[in-house]
Every structure is written in structure tokens, then in C-alpha cells.
A and B are shown apart, each in its own frame.
Chain A
Amino acid sequence: DTGVSQDPRHKITKRGQNVTFRCDPISEHNRLYWYRQTLGQGPEFLTYFQNEAQLEKSRLLSDRFSAERPKGSFSTLEIQRTEQGDSAMYLCASSRTGTAETQYFGPGTRLLVL
């Protein structure tokens, strides 16, 4: 068990560019979550997958955001036409299937949009 990993750890981009982040969950975990966290706030839910199926997507998530988990293992989060307001820490977490399962977080990808 190597834990949840995320890549890259930091990303600086110019407004209008597209960015893609990757998350590798703990291997036996079926669920994978994406959160966004800004300074001084708690993590804000974006979306989650059970295996390869995207089961829930936050209403706060604009159409510029898309996530995939094609083989039920790693996941990617893409942001198109980035805006300065997208600057945040993007956290990935994974868990076993079921309610009240512990979510284990990755180190996050810090995005800065200039």
C-alpha cells in the first residue's frame, strides 16, 4: 500500500490554457474522489467515481471541468480554458466501497492560474 499519489504536485499556467491532473488511488479502493480546496476553507467536493463510473458531480462544477477514470484505476481531472478563480489545491482521495469508509487523501496538486 503506497498511498494515494497525485501528479503534478504544482502547476502554474496562464489563463485560458488547459490543464490535466492525475490521481492514482490505493490499489484495492473502488472509490475515487476529487476535491478543491482554497486557502482557509475545507475541501469542496467536486466529483466521485465508483470503479469507472462517475456517480456524482457537484453542481458547482462548471462545464470546463471533466474527470475520467477509464479503467477504474487512475483518474484524470481536466480543466479547460482555465480562469484565475480556478487557482486552488486539487485533492484526490480514495476509499473502499460503502458508506462511512475512510477517505485517504493524496498530497494534492496546487494550481496557480496567472
Chain B
Amino acid sequence: QQPVQSPQAVILREGEDAVINCSSSKALYSVHWYRQKHGEAPIFLMILLKGGEQKGHDKISASFNEKKQQSSLYLTASQLSYSGTYFCGTENYGQNFVFGPGTRLSVLP
């Protein structure tokens, strides 16, 4: 079951914040976040395992609400290098890893 991501696309000015959401209709074991730039392979950002877990590095962080079966990725003070498509990947209990459709983020100067 493919997770749902919102929004589909977002355009920001450098320095602005953004939130990308990922939700599943089934109970989640873990949520993975990846960023992919045009023509390149996806690059791992972080994994969240436990309900309520929050992780982050630099100005990109994420939360995992196991009860709501959703995760959110927070990008603060966005930089030009943050542009790309962000995918969440979810592991449901007993099912394969599935990627969401992606959220296209464009950061403008």
C-alpha cells in the first residue's frame, strides 16, 4: 500500500520553512526519508522507528506519529541545495518497503 504524501509540490524562497507529510492507511513499523535530485539516485536522509520519535540533522528534522500512521519532514531556513523531490518510504508490518509518490520542493533565491 503506497503512502500518501502532501503537498505534491512546494515553492519556497531561500530561508523559508516547509513541512512535508507522509501518511499510511496501515500501521507503520518505520518511515524513511530520501531526497532525489533530477537525474540522480535517491539519497538517504533519516529513518524513524518509534512512535513519537523525532530526528534531525542540520536544519532538516522529522517526526513520526505511530498512532496517526504518519510522519512529517521539517525543513527550516531552506537553502538552495534543498531543492529536489522528497520521498517517504514506509515499512508496514509484514509488508515490503514502499515509496510514496514524492513531493517536489523548489527553493528560489
Contact = CB atoms under 8 A, between A and B. Distances in A.
Interface of A: 33, 35, 40-45, 48, 56, 91, 99-100, 102-108
A111 B43 CA distance: 21
Contacts of A48: 96
A106 B2 CA distance: 22
Contacts of B43: 105
- Give the size category of B's interface with A: 20 to 34
A33 B99 CA distance: 13
Given A102-B47, A105-B42, A41 B97 contact: no
Given A33-B97, A43-B42, A48-B96, 12 more contacts: A41-B101, A41-B102, A42-B102, A45-B97, A45-B99, A56-B96, A99-B29, A99-B30, A103-B89, A104-B44, A105-B41, A107-B40
